């Protein structure tokens, strides 16, 4: 029996890769739906800023908590079964939003978010190795970038679809101000169908994955994966990289998931679709990174420029005039609507954030050798930034105002700038 050629081997990976691509789109849809969900929950549940941002944080706390248990499950049941189980959990979590909406219960919404995050963590832990293994190793980076673009593209679509469904029979202008009790009840009721659709679609995908011909991957766990944590902490480039990634995930979540709530707070009527603009800017940044790195600019220099842009934009949000639309007016000839400058600055953070994640990883893992697996686990734990920083933003918003609270992002970008300029070069604490 003749062994399949390399070309035949990888051409047969097209259908499995297409299935994996669909999963990345689902991840993006579910994750970036939070940015549209939060401002509506503020209205329905009459939440203060801290409570509102806890809706986002509960999702990311779950991601952080279940990252390591997910690897245990995958080692026990396999990658494909792990994906199917994770999708099943996500489908069940979508159903939790129905009683939460009917009862208008803050606690039930938190539970639904937490369970959704747990399911997604299991699926993502299982699916990422497929992207690397299903094709030539030398083109793995391109496949990862394509999956990233699909993830963020879903972030463009999700707010638009969700907002169209939830605003059925409701005056959008009123929701940007103070809606009536009848409108609040209608908004809560309109939350139900989107999550029924989501539960059904994800449930079907779970069955497709479970009974598909998707090849199962062998676990590559070894004794090196269980090296003592203290030994890994000897690498400054890793430790500082974890901190930089913690700050990055925090500012990425703030830019994508709080822009809608901020837009509503200043009376912008189409606040529900603002996350789409942030994600569109991020997709542009992805494409630019693919085109320019490393032929035109190194990843660390691109990271420096991204951090500088983040500092400038975060300060522009805090110091800007939320009533001015001077930036969008420059493009009015192209049909761009009037959007307050501060909202645009938040959206443009998507562009600044685009290549930070893929740039920090190789810099942080450089020179780790046998400690690479443990270092990767620490970097994954940095996702906790998406849970912590929005809560800090909410606390400051509660004490002062939403616009001033965005100052929390400035030191985050400054640390990323330090890491890109100097921190990644350090190989010893001495």
Q: Does 10 score more than 60 pLDDT?
A: no
Among 55-69, 120-134, 221-235, 255-269, name the most confident range: 255-269
Q: Which residues of 179-204 are buried (b: 16+ CB within 10 A; e: fewer)?
A: beeebbebbbbbbbebbeebbeebbe
Res. 214 pLDDT band, cuts 50 70 90 = confident
Given this model, what pLDDT does residue 84 score? 94
Percent of the chain with pLDDT over 70: 89
Q: Does 353 score more than 80 pLDDT?
A: yes
Given this model, what pLDDT does residue 246 score? 96
Q: Does 206 score more than 70 pLDDT?
A: yes
Rounded CA-CA distance 41/55 in Å is 9
Cβ atoms of residues 357 and 248 within 8 Å: yes
Q: Does 29 score more than 70 pLDDT?
A: yes
Given this model, what pLDDT does residue 223 score? 46
Given this model, what pLDDT does residue 115 score? 96
Among 61-65, 180-184, 259-263, 413-417, name the most confident range: 413-417
Res. 380 pLDDT band, cuts 50 70 90 = confident
Rounded CA-CA distance 387/365 in Å is 24
Rounded CA-CA distance 281/303 in Å is 16
Rounded CA-CA distance 179/183 in Å is 6
Q: Does 220 score more than 70 pLDDT?
A: no
Asked if 12-216 and 224-430 have one fold, the answer is yes
pTM for this predicted structure: 0.84
Given this model, what pLDDT does residue 132 score? 65
Rounded CA-CA distance 324/371 in Å is 51
Which tens digit of pLDDT belongs to each residue from 100-116? Answer: 999 999 999 999 999 99
Given this model, what pLDDT does residue 259 score? 95
Q: Does 139 score more than 70 pLDDT?
A: no
Is the C-alpha dihedral spanning 366, 368, 374, 378 positive or negative? negative
Which tens digit of pLDDT belongs to each residue from 266-296? Answer: 989 888 889 999 999 999 998 898 888 888 8
CATH of 224-430, one of 1.20.1250.20, 3.30.390.30, 3.40.50.970, 3.40.50.2020: 1.20.1250.20
Which tens digit of pLDDT belongs to each residue from 393-423? Answer: 999 998 999 999 999 999 999 999 999 999 9
Rounded CA-CA distance 359/284 in Å is 16
Q: Does 4 score more than 70 pLDDT?
A: no
Instruction: Give domain 12-216's CATH architecture.
Output: Up-down Bundle (1.20)
Mean pLDDT across the chain, nearest whole number?
A: 86
Domain boundaries, the chain: 12-216, 224-430
Q: Which residues of 149-167 are buried (b: 16+ CB within 10 A; e: fewer)?
A: bbbbbbbbbbbebbbeebb
- Give the chain's largest Cα–Cα span: 73
Res. 13 pLDDT band, cuts 50 70 90 = low
Q: Does 118 score more than 60 pLDDT?
A: yes
Residue found under tokens 């990345």: 24
Q: Does 91 score more than 70 pLDDT?
A: yes
Rounded CA-CA distance 384/59 in Å is 10
Rounded CA-CA distance 290/67 in Å is 28
Given this model, what pLDDT does residue 176 score? 54
> Which residues are CB-neighbours of 211 under 8 A, at least 6 positions away?
none
261's enclosing H/E stretch is helix 259-265
Given this model, what pLDDT does residue 361 score? 86
> Which residues are CB-neighbours of 318 under 8 A, at least 6 positions away?
403, 404, 406, 407, 410
Q: Which residues of 403-423 are buried (b: 16+ CB within 10 A; e: fewer)?
A: bebbbbbbebbbbbbbbbeeb
Given this model, what pLDDT does residue 241 score? 95
Residue found under tokens 């499995």: 16
Given this model, what pLDDT does residue 168 score? 64
DSSP per residue, 218-261? PP---GGGG--HHHHTT-HHHHHHHHHHHHHHHHHHHHHHSHHH
Rounded CA-CA distance 240/365 in Å is 11
Percent of the chain with pLDDT over 90: 44
Cβ atoms of residues 384 and 250 within 8 Å: no
Cβ atoms of residues 374 and 225 within 8 Å: yes
Given this model, what pLDDT does residue 217 score? 66
Average pLDDT on 176-181 reads 66
DSSP, res 337 = P
């Amino acid at each position: 029996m003749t062994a399949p050629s390399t070309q035949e081997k990888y051409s047969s990976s097209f259908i499995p890769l297409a299935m994996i691509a669909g999963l990345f789109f689902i991840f993006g849809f579910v994750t970036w739906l939070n940015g549209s969900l939060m401002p509506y929950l503020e209205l329905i549940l009459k939440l203060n800023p801290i409570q509102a941002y806890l809706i986002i944080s509960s999702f990311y706390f779950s991601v952080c908590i279940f990252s390591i248990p997910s690897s245990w499950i995958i080692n026990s049941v396999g990658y494909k079964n792990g994906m199917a189980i994770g999708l099943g959990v996500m489908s069940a979590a979508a159903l939790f939003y129905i009683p939460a909406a009917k009862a208008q219960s803050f606690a039930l919404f938190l539970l639904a978010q937490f369970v959704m995050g747990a399911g997604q963590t299991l699926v993502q832990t299982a699916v990422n190795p497929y992207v690397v293994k299903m094709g030539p190793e030398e083109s793995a980076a391109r496949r990862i970038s394509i999956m990233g673009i699909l993830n963020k593209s879903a972030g463009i679509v999700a707010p638009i679809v969700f907002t169209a469904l939830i605003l059925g029979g409701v005056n959008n202008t009123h929701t940007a101000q103070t809606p009536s009790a009848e409108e609040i009840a209608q908004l809560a009721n309109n939350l139900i169908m989107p999550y029924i659709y989501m539960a059904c679609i994800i449930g079907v995908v779970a069955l497709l994955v479970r009974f598909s011909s998707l090849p199962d991957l062998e676990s590559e766990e070894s004794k090196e994966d269980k090296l003592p944590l203290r030994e890994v902490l000897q690498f400054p480039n890793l430790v500082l990289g974890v901190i930089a990634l913690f700050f990055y995930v925090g500012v990425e979540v703030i830019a994508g998931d709080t822009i809608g709530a901020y837009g509503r707070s200043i009376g912008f009527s189409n606040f529900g679709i603002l996350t789409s603009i942030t994600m569109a800017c991020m997709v542009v940044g992805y494409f630019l990174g693919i085109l320019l790195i490393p032929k035109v600019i190194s990843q660390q220099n691109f990271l420096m420029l991204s951090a500088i842009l983040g500092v400038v934009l975060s300060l522009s949000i805090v110091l800007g005039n939320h009533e001015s639309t001077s930036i969008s007016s420059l493009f009015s000839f192209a049909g761009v609507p009037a959007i307050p400058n501060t909202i645009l600055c938040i959206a443009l953070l998507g562009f600044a954030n685009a290549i930070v994640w893929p740039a920090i990883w190789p810099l942080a893992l450089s020179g780790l050798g046998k400690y690479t697996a443990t270092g990767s686990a620490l970097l994954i734990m940095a996702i906790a930034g998406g849970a912590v920083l929005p809560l800090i933003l909410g606390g400051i918003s509660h004490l002062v105002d939403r616009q001033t609270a965005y100052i929390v992002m400035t030191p985050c970008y400054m640390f990323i700038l330090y890491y890109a300029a100097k921190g990644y070069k350090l190989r010893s604490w001495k």
